[in-house]
Amino acid sequence: MIEPPVPPSPDARAPHDPLAPHGDRGIGAPAGRAPSALPQVGERLGVWRVAAALFECASGFWFRVEHGKAAAQTGLALVYRHESDAQAVLMRFAEDSEALSRFRHSAYGAPLDSGLSPTGLPYLVVPPMEGAPLLRVAMALPLKRRMQLLLDLIELLDAAHAQGLVLHELDPGTLWLSPGQQLHWLGQGLAPRDSLAPAAVVRAAESLTNARQRAGGRPDANSETHALGRLLGLLVNGRLPRRDAAGEGAEEEPEPGATPVASLQSWLALTAAQRESLDQLLDRAMMDGRAFTDRQLLAQAVRDWIETEPSPARSAAGPSTGPSAGPASTPMPLLPPPPPLEDAADRRRAAPGVSVGARVAALALVLALAALVAWVLLRQA
């Protein structure tokens, strides 16, 4: 399941330039159709005013916004790149936002408002926070820390389930990482168990959604575990496997800034056995719920891998048992660079530090052995 990293596309945009052109087709517009324009700083999104452009993600574009009637009230607005996401965004906000606002958790930001931009793009406003979309920054973290983030998300889901909420969709662009490396979930990926909102999911969540839910089925334990397993693949590799990155007929939306090249350091630091065991874990996690039937089984498998596999920095010297042993998320260094190439003359050169006397003695020993062999052969003749 782990595939070799691929270089980022040549037209990848910098994090500070979310409004750069999005190719010839624009932001999700079909061929031959002009893309819908993004809001500019100072423009309105309903009662909100755009204060700054922040980040691009697979869903769309994040902006910092201020309330037009209460300047002290600020928030973040996700303006979706696809007009077709309007039903999933607006209808679910109308049906579920009240229930989501009652879910109190320090790592969750319930939606505050929703609507259409002046050019017809759906948007969602959530509470303000510092940080960045998870997949833009996660690859800078050690491998085990990235895997721990999935366990953090599952703990948040446990709290949501206890209050009657289930995972409706998992849009990676709505997962943020704070400057203190704490995971936050913004928006409306959750839904009440008895929600009457449409079963549709936004385009950016389709590649993490199982086939039954993409066909209109309601979310259940199987769809939840499938989404979490595929998120695990994103956290480990920086992308989904090319052969199944999206469902049949669906177009994959890459997560801007989530270049898998940055995961090469932790990948090279793994032993062959660790790579094989991690491959097996990812294969099972992404089998559409056939290996792990609920999120707790998946969480235990991830937890076992984190706790069982030694840190690559210590594996060569054996397990560390003293107080100096680092945590599971200790940074994994790159393997040392290969030695410089040598030419034929260098390879014939004697090793440094060998004396002339030792060389003469070694030559004399070889000659003596040759003479002894010749004498034995003459005796036998």
In a domain, 340, yes or no: no
> What is the rounded average pLDDT of the residues 306-314?
70
Least confident of 13-17, 57-61, 354-358: 13-17
In a domain, 325, yes or no: no
Q: What is the pLDDT of residues 108-118, one digit of tens each?
A: 999 999 999 99
In a domain, 39, yes or no: no
> What is the rounded average pLDDT of the residues 208-215?
91
Non-local (6+) Cβ contacts of 196 within 8 A are 95
Per-residue confidence (pLDDT) for residue 35, from 0 to 100:
61
pLDDT at residue 72 is higher than 90: no
Q: What share of the chain is helix, strand, coil (3-state, %, to 5)?
A: 40, 15, 45
In a domain, 26, yes or no: no
Per-residue confidence (pLDDT) for residue 267, from 0 to 100:
75
In a domain, 182, yes or no: yes
Domain total for the chain? 1
Per-residue confidence (pLDDT) for residue 310, from 0 to 100:
72
In a domain, 96, yes or no: yes
Structure tokens at 44: 């309105």
Question: Which CATH number characterizes residue 90's domain?
Answer: 1.10.510.10
Read off the pLDDT band of 256 (50, 70, 90).
low
In a domain, 307, yes or no: yes
Per-residue confidence (pLDDT) for residue 379, from 0 to 100:
61
- Most confident range (mean pLDDT) of 205-214, 263-272, 280-289 is 205-214
Q: What is the pLDDT of residues 148-172, one digit of tens each?
A: 999 999 999 999 999 999 999 999 9
Per-residue confidence (pLDDT) for residue 18, from 0 to 100:
39
Of the candidates 241, 227, 213, the one whose C-alpha atom is nearest the C-alpha of residue 172 is: 227
Per-residue confidence (pLDDT) for residue 206, from 0 to 100:
93
Q: Return the beta strands (E) in 163-321 as ranges.
A: 165-167, 175-177, 183-186, 190-192
Tracing tokens 């190439």 back to the chain, one arrives at 341
Model pTM score: 0.72
Read off the pLDDT band of 309 (50, 70, 90).
confident
Non-local (6+) Cβ contacts of 369 within 8 A are none
Q: How far is CA 331 from CA 141, 146, 263, 326, 337, in A?
A: 8, 11, 12, 9, 18
Q: What is the pLDDT of residues 223-241, one digit of tens each?
A: 999 999 999 999 998 888 7
**Mind giving me the DSSP string for 160-184?**
HHHTTEEE----GGGEEE-TT--EE
Structure tokens at 196: 């009457």
Of the candidates 175, 152, 376, 144, the one whose C-alpha atom is nearest the C-alpha of residue 274 is: 144
Per-residue confidence (pLDDT) for residue 23, from 0 to 100:
38
> What is the rounded average pLDDT of the residues 340-351?
38
pLDDT at residue 341 is higher than 70: no
In a domain, 29, yes or no: no
Three-state SS annotation for 21-66:
CCCCCCCCCCCCCCCCCCCCCCCEECCEEEEEEEEECCCEEEEEEE
The domain of 289 spans: 44-244+252-311
